[in-house]
Structure 1
């Protein structure tokens, strides 16, 4: 663990960062490549994080920097951000569900970025990028989806930021703290009487539904944002790291993530769960709705996650909070009916998409609301991963293709 100064690493952490055994760490000390000191509790040695990071970079450079994607199918990327373990997940070693239920989205984001909590922090957007983003969004067709708008907002905000190419940690975190509220501020408001200030979840609510929120509903939305901040190397996050590896600026890296997020198997999955939930509520039972999905050869949306053998901890947390929202009872019952009915075919548990669908259906939000929540929330995680990647060897995300085409030389085509 880090000491009170926040700049010391344990022997285990140092070994993991360097990719060596603990005894090798002490060999580095004996050769003068690292300095160590006993921690205040006398339980072991600690190491300066900056020295360790610099040594790791030198080692990668001296050995030619073996690619993180070096072998076919090898997608191992060392990260200090998120650990997924059986039925739980952690942000910098702290239980993510506990963190999100006890702290605001902005506080969770700060923890992921810096390893420090900033109680009461609220992200605010400068006027210039918001104005540019709103003009760009206004030029889109009326039927444009929210993620279409978010991509345009990101490009517009980048265009008015002359410091976007500064990849220092301070500059990138400054970008993060202004881009995220700009994403929300540039979305057309639905609840026009709502004040455009306060915690980010309150401002986002006014962009998702015309219904006035109660405190329980706002807490669900805020917690959902915190839970979705990061989830290890999801497809969109990997795209962000590839962009950052090429030293794309933070706005461009976020744009890469938004492009992948729109896939039906990623961020857009909650839209299908929303529509299924409405179908079950309309029919009064999940049986015919599930039968229709299976008959069409489709997966039942909102169920199962490849990383969790049991219930998605994000879904479990949101379902618990939704029980405090009186109007959520019918949608919650329908979600449980979906889970129980599908279990007759295959034992899958609810995932976060189904929980987001309960929130969106209960709150009168459109089917696309879950994807919007996902995109805004995950922007914080994408920037955290971009920051990590900026500290790695450039262009390391370059696997070799396994060519299976016609062998040369082939004649010129006529």
Structure 2
């Protein structure tokens, strides 16, 4: 979506005359800016236009509008966390790819959580000790299962989290993040999170900074399945731990973060056949799905556009994927899921680390959404449009 519309574009989008558009501006409903020094023509804020178009659609056809809104459609709640714009996105007004180019993950955390610095968020040492006790003699257990056990324990032990106070939620957020880092690396982080993982995983130093970039890029993406799940749980009065536990199950579904496993299968198939391009071509010919390509919100996923050029391509996955995207898929650019899986393979990271990195970064956004939902202090309770069998006329249905 562009930042501004011309008068003609705005009028057509709203289905109104120019005079009506100008009246909206004069009433403060739509912001406008001059297009140049002469100030003879104006451009109109695209977000304001889209909000008004959505309101009009809901008014004219509420059932259709609300149905569309649950499938990559119109916004259904307000948030000040992430803006998805024209082929890029922003955390609280900060361009995310720009942040990913030179800032540590902790800087993005501070912005998302609206704190002066990540280090100012405290962790209860007694709760951290409880996490360590729970992790003793648990080697070989799936990291996700371990983390869910930790969330259940913390949900029971940390009574301060039920205050729903901002500081308590931030403290719970840092403890959850660092507990998952402990699971992924075997030790608690003492430096930056990405730096800690790079050392633990023995990442080539010249590629270590890309872990920071990846975590920043996946930290949030507006109202996706996991963040909406977290917000629903938070709106019901669940603790941050319970809200994250609910979101975690949603995140690892195969249509969300769990899609990385399908992409890993695609690359394993390519390794067996010696060519990713040939594997994709065969799937296209058979009409089989090709995971990891095409995003409904972008022509080219900006997260993948950032990561892929910065990764080595020893296996040819990147070059062949880009060729296939151009020639076989429509074009349909690789997604961030694909980029994370390529990172796992090219940097020889631990098995399934692509999914776990994605989840670790997304934890930051989940905490931001939970905090914002607590502040709104109202339940999320959409209605359903009934399409089932209608009741008969008799006998009367009475209590």
> TM-score, normalised on structure 1?
0.71
Asked if 1:201 is matched to 2:194, the reply is yes
Higher relative contact order (CA 8 A, sep 6+): 1
Match of 1:287 among 272, 277, 283: 277
1:366 positional shift: 4.2
Match of 1:406 among 368, 389, 395: 389
Distance (Å, rounded) in 2 between the aligned partners of 1:358 and 1:136: 33
Unaligned runs of 5+ in 1: 1-20, 27-66, 323-327
1:335 positional shift: 2.1
Equivalent in the alignment of 2:131:
133
Structure 2 CA distance for partners of 1:295 and 1:99, relative to 1, 3 Å: same
How do 1:187-336 residues align onto structure 2 when only pairs under 5 Å count?
187=184, 189=186, 196-205=189-198, 209=201, 212-294=202-284, 297-309=287-299, 311-322=300-311, 328-331=312-315, 333-336=316-319
Structure 2 CA distance for partners of 1:308 and 1:352, relative to 1, 3 Å: same
1:22 positional shift: 8.0
How do 1:77-92 residues align onto structure 2 when only pairs under 5 Å count?
77-92=77-92
Distance (Å, rounded) in 2 between the aligned partners of 1:338 and 1:226: 23
C-alpha deviations, 1:266-285, integer Å up to 9, x for none?
A: 11122222332343344332
Distance (Å, rounded) in 2 between the aligned partners of 1:228 and 1:74: 23
Give the RMSD, CA atoms, in angstroms: 3.1
Asked if 1:373 is matched to 2:362, the reply is no
Distance (Å, rounded) in 2 between the aligned partners of 1:181 and 1:79: 26
Distance (Å, rounded) in 1 between the aligned partners of 2:231 and 2:27: 29
How do 1:42-53 residues align onto structure 2 when only pairs under 5 Å count?
none
Structure 2 CA distance for partners of 1:124 and 1:200, relative to 1, 3 Å: farther
Unaligned runs of 5+ in 2: 1-23, 30-61, 71-75
1:387 positional shift: 1.4
Q: Check conservation: 1:153, 1:183, Cα contact below 8 A.
A: no
C-alpha deviations, 1:13-69, integer Å up to 9, x for none?
A: xxxxxxxx787789xxxxxxxxxxxxxxxxxxxxxxxxxxxxxxxxxxxxxxxx9xx
Structure 2 CA distance for partners of 1:170 and 1:122, relative to 1, 3 Å: closer
C-alpha deviations, 1:287-315, integer Å up to 9, x for none?
A: 33114434664421221111111x21111
> TM-score, normalised on structure 2?
0.74
Distance (Å, rounded) in 1 between the aligned partners of 2:230 and 2:25: 32
Higher helix share: 2
1:136 positional shift: 4.0
C-alpha deviations, 1:311-352, integer Å up to 9, x for none?
A: 211111112332xxxxx2314x32220231243332100111
C-alpha deviations, 1:353-398, integer Å up to 9, x for none?
A: 1111121002223442111111111111111111111122421x11
